[in-house]
Structure 1
Amino acid sequence: MKIQTAVAQEQGAQLTIEPVELDSPKANEVLVEIKASGICHTDAAGRDFATTPYPVALGHEGAGIVKEVGSSVTSVKPGDHVVLSFSYCGHCENCLTGHPANCVHLNELNFGGRHFDGTHRIHDENGKDISTFFGQSSFSTYSVVDEHGVTKVPTDVDINLLGPLGCGFQTGAGTVLNYLKPEFGSSIVIFGTGAVGLSAMMAAKIIGMDHIIAVDIHDNRLELAKKLGATEIINSKNHNPEEIIKGLVKSGVEYSIDTTGVPGVIKQAVHVLKPSGTCALLGMAGDVTFNIQEEVMGESKKVVGVIEGDAIPQLFIPKLVKYFKKGLFPIDRLVKYYNYNDINQAFKDSADGSVIKPIVKINQ
């Protein structure tokens, strides 16, 4: 079928909305009419850092309505509202033990540009293959997605709002609720108050943690963090967060999360931990140098990377929707909507920090 999709033709190029051909869903696949899709830093990485072969149709926080299902699909039917999330094989040891975000095929399925069977679903007007992103390419009017990447959600919540539950909101909240599983009354520091950091912070509030400390360089984001549940806020441009945190929690905090990927901030996130504390790394980062004895092993600290909040999307996303409906996870306060033709402006606003979570409306 003929659709439109937003394509990065080459590294660093702005997206262009182009007419393309989308193949019909195969037995294990679902055709989804995309209503809206969130913009995440991973989309910018796909545009700028060649994570996926070019040309690539970007988008990986899609939400929409099922239009057609393959012959072997049983979890959804036409008319269902769905959120699209990451691709996983469902058959490897990590998938079968409840950790699909650690699927041994995760990188090839999400960044390799092809579907499960090794073929493409999107082709330009000359028949040339276009890479799929995260198994969905949701900056499109329609997407063909493997059943593993589709999660049914209630129809009584605005479908335009829900796409980021498939990645950014899931990553932050899931890191707290699924991976760290902090105790009631414990303490956490969250470095970076973008969509991922604020989602983690709201999850920490759901747990009932005593200290939920938000660190950022933007006062407007810190003020929002305070309204959404942060017990203390620190502008690290003006203050040394390590000194302030040690003043608040003398022995150090049990948990910390870095969402920035900045090497110096990552080191701070480790330094503020109490002995045996855990630092979860969520941001894309390069080299970071530690003195293992003095900074990590000598106090039994744990530094871990967490992907997609260690979530099973089909179980976790509906829980987040329930939290939202109860007023415990107010993601609507983080978003700004854009028209499809304004997608590049939405990327710009995300990059400069003026908008926490842009959402592009597509089929309206």
Structure 2
Amino acid sequence: MIDARAAVLFEAGADPALTDVVLRPPVGEEVLVRIDAVGICHTDISVAARWPARRLPMVFGHEGAGTVVATGPQAELRGGQPVVLTFASCGRCPYCVTGRPAYCESSTDHNMRGDGAGESSALRLDGHPIAGGFFGQSSLATYAIARQGNAVSIDDGLEPALAAPLGCSVQTGVGTVLNALAVRPEDTVVVFGAGAVGLSAVMGARIAGCRTIVAVDPVPQRRDLAIDLGATAAVDPSAGDVTAAVRELTGGGAHAAVDTTAVPEVLTTALTVLRPRGALALVGLGAPVAPLPVGLIMGRGLTVRGVVEGDSEPHTFIPRLVALAKAGELPLERLVTTFAFEDFDAAWSAAKTGRAIKPVLVNGS
């Protein structure tokens, strides 16, 4: 058994608290990973806030980066291998076998529901199994067990604090632009929300060579950072008519828009800034339903599509992101604020309040 520290949610509506836990050894194709760094994502915050009391205690976390320290007998990864942990998938359904694991037929079971705290759970607290397996990892801990399918081998040379967000937020933002929207250099792109995912989308559009990239966010510092990371303009939505401003900046409307806010009013605005046959990608978690201007969508031939994890096949895309980061094309250090693992409370608060764009816990042990 392996002693570890983990951020455990004990009470519905509360915040997780650092607690001593124990992990069983890996079995089958599982790998035990020493978590060297783990990002805190908006999904951790939002899911923890509504997690049912009957399924507590629970450990969240789905942006782990670290080093393989033990493997199950069927695992091909080796000890000492640096890995980024990402979303889980079954590996067998039609979407998985055709390179679209983000849309796995059992994605909800593998990622959002955890492992149910049965006897097969990787985590124990005071001798009793507790729920884990969030996104196949529950990596808000000093050690985590993942499956080989969601442990992506990476080269040395990228520090764990920068590698961790590649597992979700950066993969989602960059992938939405490069994979899902497949923008071209002549395209214009507008991104609503300049958090970790939105700023990653801005960087993706810059990597694609897009001639006009507009970021929309009410926070001045985030608008400034968007400009630094490649946006050609930034719009304050509280300062006036966003649609008019974006249409002017893009010469008549954007070819593509990315919404990271999931705010119904923002979704409507995002559609109004598109030129005919433009496309809006929805990547934010928020309002479960929103009214859409059907007449506008039909009249302009617009496309509205959801995007999960940037349409990524992570074993291909995450190494590409690592290469881009090492080449200086993804300045991830501009997004990341590091916290010692024992300062979990401060990091969680920074994520909840938005004081940090991407809080990352670093395990120095």
Q: Normalised by the size of structure 2, how large is the TM-score?
A: 0.95
Query: Secondary structure at the residue paired with 2:14?
Result: coil
Does 2:145 match 1:144? yes
| Cα distance in 1, alignment partners of residues 220 and 46 from structure 2 | 26
Match in the other structure for 1:59: 61
Shift of 1:277: 0.7
Does 2:63 match 1:84? no
Residues 340, 361 of structure 2: 8 Å contact kept: yes
Shift of 1:135: 1.1
Query: Secondary structure at the residue paired with 2:165?
Result: helix
Residues 263, 285 of structure 1: 8 Å contact kept: no
Residues 139, 362 of structure 1: 8 Å contact kept: no
Match in the other structure for 1:211: 212
Q: How far does the alpha carbon of each residue in 1:161-191 deviate from its partner, in whole angstroms, 9 at most, with x for none?
A: 2111000000000111111111112100000
| Cα distance in 2, alignment partners of residues 180 and 86 from structure 1 | 21
Aligned length, in residue pairs: 362
Match in the other structure for 1:14: 15
Question: Which amino acid in structure 2 is aligned with residue 59 of structure 1?
Answer: G
Question: Which amino acid in structure 2 is aligned with residue 77 of structure 1?
Answer: R
| Cα distance in 1, alignment partners of residues 156 and 129 from structure 2 | 37
Shift of 1:98: 0.8
Query: Secondary structure at the residue paired with 2:135?
Result: coil
Query: Secondary structure at the residue paired with 2:35?
Result: strand
Match in the other structure for 2:262: 261
| Cα distance in 2, alignment partners of residues 128 and 73 from structure 1 | 24
Query: Secondary structure at the residue paired with 2:246?
Result: helix
1:236-247 mapped onto 2 (5 Å cutoff): 236-247=237-248
Change (3 A) 1:291 1:233: closer
Query: Secondary structure at the residue paired with 1:134?
Result: helix
Question: Which amino acid in structure 1 is aligned with residue 56 of structure 2?
Answer: Y
Question: What is the alpha-carbon root mean square deviation over aligned residues?
Answer: 1.7
Residues 63, 82 of structure 1: 8 Å contact kept: yes
Identity of aligned residues (%): 37
Change (3 A) 1:128 1:120: closer
| Cα distance in 2, alignment partners of residues 60 and 254 from structure 1 | 32
Shift of 1:118: 9.1
Does 2:126 match 1:108? no
Match in the other structure for 2:296: 295
Q: How far does the alpha carbon of each residue in 1:272-331 deviate from its partner, in whole angstroms, 9 at most, with x for none?
A: 111111000111132211231x22122111111100001111111110111111111111
| Cα distance in 2, alignment partners of residues 23 and 110 from structure 1 | 20
Question: Which amino acid in structure 2 is aligned with residue 10 of structure 1?
Answer: E
| Cα distance in 1, alignment partners of residues 89 and 137 from structure 2 | 12
Match in the other structure for 1:183: 184
Structure 1 stretches lacking a partner, 5+ long: none
Match in the other structure for 1:357: 358
Could you tell which deviates more after superposition, 121-130 or 167-176? 121-130
1:158-177 mapped onto 2 (5 Å cutoff): 158-177=159-178
Query: Secondary structure at the residue paired with 2:213?
Result: strand
Shift of 1:239: 2.4
Shift of 1:247: 1.6
Question: Which amino acid in structure 1 is aligned with residue 194 of structure 2?
Answer: T
Question: Which amino acid in structure 1 is aligned with residue 159 of structure 2?
Answer: D
Q: Normalised by the size of structure 1, how large is the TM-score?
A: 0.96
| Cα distance in 1, alignment partners of residues 166 and 52 from structure 2 | 22
Question: Which amino acid in structure 1 is aligned with residue 120 of structure 2?
Answer: T
| Cα distance in 1, alignment partners of residues 291 and 220 from structure 2 | 29
Residues 268, 293 of structure 2: 8 Å contact kept: no
| Cα distance in 2, alignment partners of residues 35 and 362 from structure 1 | 5
Question: Which amino acid in structure 1 is aligned with residue 61 of structure 2?
Answer: G
Match in the other structure for 2:45: 44
